[in-house]
Amino acid sequence: MPGTPYDPADDGAQMEFDGRMSYGDYLALDKVLSAQSPISSAHDEMLFIIQHQTSELWMKLAIHELVAAKGKIAAGDLSPAFKMLTRVARIFEQLNSAWQVLRTMTPSEYEEFRDQLGQSSGFQSYQYRAIEYLAGNKNAAMLRPHAHIPEVHAWLDGLLHETSLYDEAIRLLAREGFAIDKAMLERGPSTPHEENESVREAWLEVYRDPRKHWPLYELAEKLVDFEDYFRRWRFNHVTTVERVIGFKRGTGGTSGVAYLRRMLEVVLFPELWSIRADL
């Protein structure tokens, strides 16, 4: 009948949830949506909290995918690893878009609640540190901000001393017959990766004959894709911070923009970038 409101129950939709699992139950929305607790009266503090909480959720998924991808590469099961690494790149694409929302907050609006943050700072994100360690950017000094949470410190210390995603890719090159330096294969996993000529030559051979080495070629491009989006995330972080606080020191005591710009110089998979000049 015209004008009669649509009732989803007429199409079989479940409308009563007493004793049944609902959407909110499954997603634990009571916990998720009650986790925003501004400590000032500033309107934009809610934006600041949600921006960082949602970023941490996306990073949780990125870690889930990176750990799984590393395991698949170690096992030589590359097809699932490609899907996982593609997903990680898209996660960072999502994280990049989130900066656009935070940039709607002006310096004046941030100053309304900045003092309430105390010494808390994004550089203390243990999930971000986990992503760095998983990718291969190992820096033991960055464990110290997490010493006050033993379980987090132990988890990160474990990642520091485990092989990284890139370590496993290099080991795969060796298993596929490429002449990788023995010292590179036997070095301690906690040692930061430095560009190595044998690794560079191996990737160069892969890129010079993609058809012969297609799985390795595709793996290389998935790694580059991940680092590409990761670099953009770092760059957008820098420009957002500069836009909002200029060159003030960070709340966590870092030099702020200067510290973040230094992070832009870190290259996760250096050989995969340097070989491009030789092709």
Residue corresponding to tokens 């911070």: 241
Domain ranges of the chain: 43-278
Find all residues with CB under 8 Å of 210, minimum gap 6, and list them: 217
Across 16-20, 161-165, 176-180, 204-208, least confident range: 16-20
The most confident of the ranges 224-228, 239-243, 256-260 is 224-228
Q: Is 166 annotated as a binding residue?
A: no
Q: Is 114 annotated as a binding residue?
A: yes
Residues 81/69, Cβ–Cβ less than 8 Å = yes
Measure the CA–CA gap between 272 and 207, rounded to whole angstroms.
10
Q: Is 48 annotated as a binding residue?
A: yes
Q: Is 110 annotated as a binding residue?
A: yes
Find all residues with CB under 8 Å of 224, minimum gap 6, and list them: 269, 272, 273
What's 43-278's CATH class?
A: mainly alpha
**Which of 68, 65, 55 minimizes the C-alpha distance to 88?**
65
CB environment 122-143: b (16+ within 10 A), e (fewer): bbebbbbbbbbbbbbbbeeebb
Find all residues with CB under 8 Å of 63, minimum gap 6, and list them: 127, 130, 131, 134
What pTM does this model have? 0.90
pLDDT of residue 189: 93
Q: Is 52 annotated as a binding residue?
A: yes
**pLDDT surpasses 70 at 63:** yes
Q: Is 49 annotated as a binding residue?
A: yes
